[in-house]
Amino acid sequence: MRAAEKIIGRFAPTPTKFLHAGNIFCALISYLAAKSKGGKFLIRIEDLDKARCPDVSAKETLAALEFLGIVSDEEPIYQSRRTEAYERALDILSKRASLYPCFCTRAQLHAAEAPRLSDGVVVYDGACRNLSREEIARRTLERKPCLRVCVPDRTVNFRDGILGGYSQNLASSCGDFIVRRSDGVFAYQLAVVVDDGECGVTQVVRGSDLLSSTPRQIWLQRLLGYARPEYYHIPLMCDADGRKLGKSEGDDARRLFDRFTPNEILGGLAFAAGLLPELRTASLDELVRTFDFDKIRRDKIFLPEQFSYDLQ
């Protein structure tokens, strides 16, 4: 990135349900990281899978963030409305890399101790890479395939602003990955690259569970002609027992909004992150003024005790 270039950061929630405290934490750090450098902050609703992302969750997500003062500098983008952009990207991709239909079932992929990446994706063994035309035609009658992109035997290296150097060989540690699912929904990996690229995002702050996705995204960025943003993968928030918070685990931050003021929530999260030396209330403006990536804890970040979901 050139020194004079304005930072453009973003927060990209998947609104399956209401946010948990870790999601709010991530939104806060993304916001502070952009605003503390005089940059722009964007919110993107990652509702590619409409069946899993009801409109009401996106609305509640935006309202909750707004309650804290975390608002997008531009109208939020909804991935569910960007099909044409992803189709165009897929078209370009098909000219610069090879794409192929894959008929493997979930059960087949998850069978036999298949290695997995930190984002839960199974490393694909290329079983459908060389199917003949006849075989593809025959199998298409039986089930709809997903579309995979063939990855080269190449190692992608990058320096994460929090976690340091990271390398991944695409062929051996990741395998050919999905760019469009069998139900026609575009894959996260493709959509995130297109949207970050087209919005000129220069700084990606997100949970460390997505670290292993980044080499795939960097490779796609190169193929599609987008600039590479800087990456900051922050620790995931855990409860007092060290369990990572998760929407599917029933963690729901709604009660925080009923019981605490914005500055109590902001102060609690900033203290948990290491951004404040003591537990107290804090305004968003104060946190913007004092933000420093170096202060963020590198190990585990615990949900502040007063925000614990168990408390009645």
Q: Helix (H, G, I), strand (E, B), or coil: what is residue 23?
A: helix
The structure tokens listed for 302 are: 């615990």
Could you tell me the smallest distance in angstroms from the CB atom of residue 103 to ligand GLU? Answer: 27
Residue placing its CB nearer to ligand GLU in the complex, 47 or 264: 47
β-bridge mates for residue 147, sequence order: 101, 180
Q: Rule CB under 6 A: is residue 203 a binding residue for ligand GLU?
A: no
Q: How far is the CB of 210 from ligand GLU (least distance, A)?
A: 6
Stretch in the footprint of ligand GLU (CB under 6 A) among 11-19, 33-41, 54-62, 222-230: 11-19
**Residues in binding contact with ligand GLU, number by CB under 6 A:** 7
Phi, psi (rounded to 5 degrees) for 75: -50, 130
Q: Which residue is nearest to ligand GLU (CB)?
A: 206
176 contacts ligand GLU (rule: CB under 6 A): no
As measured in angstroms, the least distance from the Cβ of 214 to ligand GLU is: 9
Name residues contacting ligand GLU, limited to 214-273 (CB under 6 A).
Answer: none
14 interacts with ligand GLU by CB under 6 A: yes
Q: Which of 89, 210, 270, 273 binds ligand GLU (CB under 6 A)?
A: 210
Structure tokens at 202: 């220069």
Q: Which range binds ligand GLU by CB under 6 A, 12-20, 91-99, 134-142, 251-259?
A: 12-20
* DSSP for residue 299: S
Can you tell me which residue has the tokens 């902001």? Answer: 266
Shortest distance (Å) from residue 253 CB to ligand GLU: 14
Strands 301-302 and 237-238: parallel
CA angle 140, 145, 150 (to 5 degrees): 120
* Tokens standing for residue 223: 């193929």
By CB under 6 A, tell whether 46 contacts ligand GLU. Answer: yes
Q: Report if residue 206 touches ligand GLU, rule: CB under 6 A.
A: yes
User: What is the enclosing helix (H) or strand (E) of 269?
Assistant: helix 262-273
Residue 12 vs 151, nearer CB to ligand GLU: 12
Q: Edge to edge, what strands does the sheet with 8-11 contain?
A: 77-78, 40-45, 8-11, 203-207, 230-234
Query: Considering the rule CB under 6 A, would residue 77 count as an interface residue with ligand GLU?
Result: no
**Residue 304, CA distances (Å) to 11, 136, 237, 268, 269 in order:** 22, 53, 10, 6, 7
Query: Which of positions 180-199 make contact with ligand GLU (CB under 6 A)?
Result: 192
Residues that bind ligand GLU (CB under 6 A): 12-14, 46, 192, 206, 210
